[in-house]
C-alpha cells in the first residue's frame, strides 16, 4: 500500500512539473498584462515544432537547442505583441478574440509549411534511462523536467522581484498611469513580458515533445490545463502557480489511478467551477486584477 501511495505521489509530481512548465508563461502574461492569451497553447506547439526542426534539419539535440527554442518562440511572441496585442490592452474581450484568431492562424501556418502528420522528437540518450526512488523506477527525463521547472520558476521569481525590470513591471501592474509619469515605458516592459511568457511556453513545448506526439493541435489541451492552474493559484501569484500545479498534478495522479484519466479531468473541472463560484480570485491571491 505504501509503495502504491509513493508511486502516485511521484506520478503527481511528474504531472505537476509539466503543468508548471506550461502554466508559468501564461501566469506571467495573464497576471501582469491582463491579457487572456488563448494562443498560449499554440506557443507551446511552436516550441515543440522548433525542437523537431532543430533536431531533424540542423542536427541539434533537444538539450542543446533549448536556449534557441526560447529565443525563437519568444521572438514570435514579441512580433505578435507589437503587431496585434499592443493595441488591445484596455479591451479584454478583443484580446480574447484576437489571441484565439492568432492561435488558429499559427495552427494553419504549421499545417501549410510542415504538414499535419504527427512528428516525433528524440529523447536525449543521456536522459532515456530510469533511476530507482524508494524502490520505484522513474524516468530520468521526467526528473530532468522537474528540475528545469523548478529552475525556471526560480529565474522568473528573481526577474520579477529582484531586478529593475521586475520592479518596473510591478509598478505598471499596480498603476500604469502613475508608473508612466515616472518615466517607465510601459509599452516596452509589456512587450518584453509577453515575449518572455511566450518563450517559456516554447520551452514547455520543447520539453514535453519527446513524451507526446508533435502535431498542430497539440497545444489545445495544454492551454486548458494552464488556465486551470492560473485560476486555482490566483492571477497575481507566482507561488500560487507552483502550489496549484502541485495540487492539480497530485489530484490528477490519484484520481486517474482510482478511476481513469477522463473522470479525473471531469472532477478537476468541477472543482475549479466550485472554486470560481466561492473564491473567484483563486486560492493564493487576495485580490483580482482591476
- pTM (two decimals): 0.88
Assigned C-alpha cell, 2: 505504501
Work out the number of other CB atoms within 10 angstroms of the CB of residue 142: 19
Domain 2-278 CATH class label = mainly alpha
Q: What is the distance between the alpha carbons of residues 274 and 120, in angstroms, rounded to a whole number? A: 38
Q: Which residues pair with 136 in a beta bridge?
A: 133
Would you say 62 and 123 are in contact if contact means Cβ atoms under 8 Å apart? Answer: yes
Residue holding cell 529565443?
Answer: 71
Q: What span, in angstroms and rounded, lies between the C-alpha atoms of 160 and 164?
A: 9
Quote the CA–CA distance of 22 and 28 in Å, as a whole number: 11
Q: Domain residues of the chain, as ranges?
A: 2-278
Per-residue pLDDT of the chain (290 residues; tens, 9 = 90+): 666 777 777 777 878 888 888 888 888 888 777 888 899 999 999 999 999 999 999 999 898 999 999 999 999 999 999 999 988 887 888 999 999 999 999 999 999 999 889 999 998 888 888 887 767 778 888 888 889 999 999 999 998 888 888 888 878 777 777 777 777 887 888 899 899 999 999 999 999 999 888 999 998 888 888 888 888 887 666 888 888 888 888 887 777 777 777 777 788 888 888 888 888 777 776 554 44
Amino acid at each position: 500500500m505504501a509503495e502504491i501511495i509513493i508511486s502516485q505521489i511521484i506520478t503527481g509530481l511528474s504531472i505537476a512539473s509539466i503543468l508548471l512548465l506550461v502554466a508559468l508563461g501564461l501566469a506571467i502574461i495573464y497576471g501582469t498584462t491582463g491579457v487572456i492569451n488563448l494562443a498560449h497553447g499554440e506557443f507551446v506547439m511552436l516550441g515543440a515544432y522548433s525542437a523537431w526542426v532543430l533536431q531533424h534539419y540542423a542536427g541539434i539535440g533537444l538539450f542543446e537547442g533549448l536556449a534557441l527554442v526560447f529565443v525563437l518562440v519568444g521572438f514570435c511572441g514579441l512580433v505578435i505583441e507589437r503587431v496585434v496585442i499592443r493595441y488591445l490592452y484596455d479591451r479584454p474581450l478583443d484580446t480574447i478574440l484576437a489571441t484565439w484568431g492568432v492561435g488558429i492562424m499559427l495552427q494553419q501556418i504549421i499545417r501549410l509549411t510542415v504538414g499535419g502528420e504527427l512528428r516525433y522528437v528524440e529523447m536525449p540518450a543521456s536522459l532515456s534511462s530510469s533511476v530507482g526512488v524508494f524502490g520505484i523506477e522513474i524516468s530520468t527525463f521526467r526528473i530532468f523536467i522537474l528540475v528545469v521547472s523548478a529552475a525556471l520558476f526560480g529565474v522568473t521569481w528573481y526577474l520579477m522581484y529582484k531586478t529593475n525590470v521586475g520592479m518596473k513591471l510591478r509598478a505598471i501592474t499596480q498603476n500604469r498611469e502613475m508608473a508612466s509619469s515616472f518615466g517607465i515605458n510601459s509599452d516596452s516592459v509589456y512587450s518584453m513580458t509577453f515575449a518572455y511568457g511566450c518563450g517559456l511556453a516554447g520551452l514547455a513545448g520543447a520539453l514535453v515533445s519527446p513524451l507526446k506526439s508533435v502535431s498542430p493541435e497539440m497545444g489545445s489541451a495544454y492551454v486548458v490545463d494552464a488556465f486551470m492552474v492560473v485560476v486555482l493559484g490566483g492571477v497575481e501569484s507566482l507561488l500560487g502557480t507552483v502550489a496549484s500545479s502541485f495540487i492539480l498534478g497530485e489530484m490528477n495522479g490519484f484520481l486517474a489511478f482510482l478511476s481513469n484519466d477522463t473522470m479525473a479531468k471531469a472532477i478537476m473541472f468541477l472543482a475549479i467551477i466550485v472554486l470560481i463560484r466561492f473564491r473567484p480570485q483563486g486560492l493564493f491571491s487576495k485580490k483580482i486584477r482591476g
